[in-house]
């Protein structure tokens, strides 16, 4: 099963943390830091696999993708296929890209709640739920509609979120 999904930026700031086996916050923080320490030391153009035994315990594996200012990291056990996990990261990224129209770090920072919604449509309790980003998008749009119709919530559009950024 998938143990954790971590999205963080290249400075090591967590942008989305989801652990499918409960970890207390200090532990989450520590794990994120250890992952960052490993990833930040890796050059470009190397494999996307890292042994995670030392961080997450025996038998765990980690795949990651480094895109612009973000690391997308999936941690999982030996029941999953590494390349399939790498593909799943791609599905997540493609979905985000369609959702936010050329996703960038700011989108993720200000819409971290929406990130949870999207992730929940792709991974469910550590298992792969949906691999078609069209389908994920449909489900997420449905949820957004529901949110809008019941109250005045909406997501922060990029033009506005930019104002808050540095």
Question: Which residues between 100 and 129 bind other proteins (CB under 8 A)?
Answer: 109-110, 112-113, 116-117, 120, 124-125, 127-129
Choose one: 68-76, 83-91, 95-103; the region binding other proteins (CB under 8 A).
83-91
One of 11, 26, 68, 102 touching other proteins (CB under 8 A): 26
Closest CB to other proteins among residues 40, 51: 51
Rounded CA separation 118/103 (Å): 13
Query: Minimum distance between the CB of residue 71 and other proteins, rounded to whole angstroms?
Result: 15
- Indicate whether 134 belongs to the interface with other proteins (CB under 8 A): yes
Rounded CA separation 126/130 (Å): 12
- Indicate whether 97 belongs to the interface with other proteins (CB under 8 A): no
- Indicate whether 86 belongs to the interface with other proteins (CB under 8 A): yes
Closest CB to other proteins among residues 40, 59: 59
- Indicate whether 68 belongs to the interface with other proteins (CB under 8 A): no
Rounded CA separation 76/88 (Å): 12
Closest CB to other proteins among residues 69, 155: 155
One of 37, 40, 83, 101 touching other proteins (CB under 8 A): 83
User: How many chain residues interact with other proteins (CB under 8 A)?
Assistant: 73
User: Between 138 and 157, how does the x/- string for binding to other proteins read (CB under 8 A)?
Assistant: -x--xx--xx--xxxxxxxx
Q: What is the 3-state secondary structure of the chain?
A: CEEEEEEEECCCCEEEEEECCCCCHHHHHHHHHHHHHHHHCCCCCCCCEEECHHHHCCCCEEEEEEECCEEEEEEECCCCCHHHHHHHHHHHHHHHHHHHCCCCHHHHHHCHHHHHHHHHHHEECCEECCCCHHHHHHHHHHHHHHHHHHCCCCCCCHHHHHHHCC
């Amino acid at each position: 099963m998938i143990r954790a999904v971590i999205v963080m930026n290249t400075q090591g700031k967590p942008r989305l943390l989801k652990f499918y086996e409960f970890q207390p916050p200090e532990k989450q923080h520590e794990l994120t830091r250890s992952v960052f320490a490993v990833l930040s030391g890796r050059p470009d153009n190397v494999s996307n696999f890292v042994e995670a035994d030392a961080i997450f315990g025996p038998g765990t594996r980690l795949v990651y993708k480094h895109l612009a200012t973000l690391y997308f990291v999936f941690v999982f056990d030996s029941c999953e296929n590494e390349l399939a996990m790498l593909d799943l990261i791609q599905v997540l990224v493609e979905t985000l890209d369609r959702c936010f129209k050329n996703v960038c770090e700011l989108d993720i920072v200000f819409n971290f709640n929406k990130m949870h919604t999207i992730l929940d449509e792709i991974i469910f309790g550590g298992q792969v739920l949906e691999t078609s980003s069209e389908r994920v998008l449909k489900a997420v749009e449905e949820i957004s509609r529901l949110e809008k119709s019941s109250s005045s919530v909406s997501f922060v559009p990029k033009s506005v979120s930019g104002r808050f950024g540095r």
